[in-house]
Structure 1
Amino acid sequence: MVNKKARGFTLIELLVVLGIVALLLTLAVPRFFPSVDRSKETVLAENLRSTRATIDQFYGDTGAYPESLEELVEKKYLRAVPVDPITERSDSWLLVPPEQPARGNVADIKSGAPGNDRNGKPYAEW
């Protein structure tokens, strides 16, 4: 009977493989995170655009602004209050009242996210 030597990887082989994986990660990860931020900003811009259009449509239909974003959901103008992709919450929106408060509470909507976008503009000014 022939005694077969147990086969496996040596420590050097494992270290070389881990070094290659680490090198590949250092190239891929810095490209990944900016694309995630860019995607969140794109979704934020679209949520703001569509919600503002819905508020304008509500005003055109009723002659007054909604009292809250939930009213837009209750009256079927929106399926649900949109999520702010930066804060990942639907209750962080900054609601801007109209110039004439007797005509409702929500004339515009802004992001309540802290910080700035990739260009340095605060999210609250979007």
Structure 2
Amino acid sequence: MRSRPPKPSARAAGFTLVELLVVLAIVATLLMLSLPRYTQSVEVARERVLVENLRITRDAIDKFHADTLRYPDSLDELVEKRYLRSRPMDPVLESDQAWLIVTPPSEKKGQVADIKSTAPGQTQDKRAFTEL
């Protein structure tokens, strides 16, 4: 005669509260270890995007000056004349309007010789955002 396997009890069908708490504690520990690295990598990425946006915009200003023998009157003029696809974004401030416009010397025509970020604070290597 064959014996039947024992029926699983109701207790064996789920997780206990202690098991769930242990899993939650492990997940919380992993998050605590990874979150600072994540936020630091986001900040480094914003800095790199800011530097690249400044480089591209300054290059567009120089090309505009070389083509027209004058500086642009605004960043929007660079977009209108297709030197840039859109106004550059300052990823630190998350704005395309927060640029400090540096005017050319008085004997030069135009209004935009350079741009700088107005973001407060410093980069990871202790340079002010306004000095980039």
TM-score by length of 2: 0.87
Instruction: Give the alignment partner of residue 10 of structure 2, picking from 2, 5, 11.
Output: 5
Unaligned runs of 5+ in 2: 1-6
Aligned residue pairs total: 125
Q: Which residue of 2 aligns with 1:124?
A: 130
Instruction: Give the alignment partner of residue 72 of structure 1, picking from 59, 67, 78.
Output: 78
Cα-to-partner distance string for 1:46-80 (whole Å, 9 max, x where unaligned): 11011001101111111111110000011111110
Cα 1:32–1:124 shift into 2, 3 Å: same
Cα 1:57–1:3 shift into 2, 3 Å: closer
Q: Which residue of 2 aligns with 1:49?
A: 55
- Deviating beyond 6 angstroms after TM superposition, the runs of 4 or more aligned structure 1 residues are none
- The residue type paired with residue 23 of structure 2 is V
Cα 1:24–1:3 shift into 2, 3 Å: closer
Q: CA deviation at 1:8?
A: 2.1
Q: Which residue of 2 aligns with 1:82?
A: 88
Q: Which residue of 1 aligns with 2:3?
A: none
Q: Which residue of 1 aligns with 2:120?
A: 114
Unaligned runs of 5+ in 1: none
Separation (CA, whole Å) in 2 of partners of 1:113 and 1:101: 30
Q: Which residue of 1 aligns with 2:31?
A: 25
Larger gyration radius, structure 1 or structure 2: 2
Cα-to-partner distance string for 1:73-120 (whole Å, 9 max, x where unaligned): 111111101111111111111110011265111000111212111122
Query: Cα RMSD over matched residues?
Result: 1.6
Identity of aligned residues (%): 52
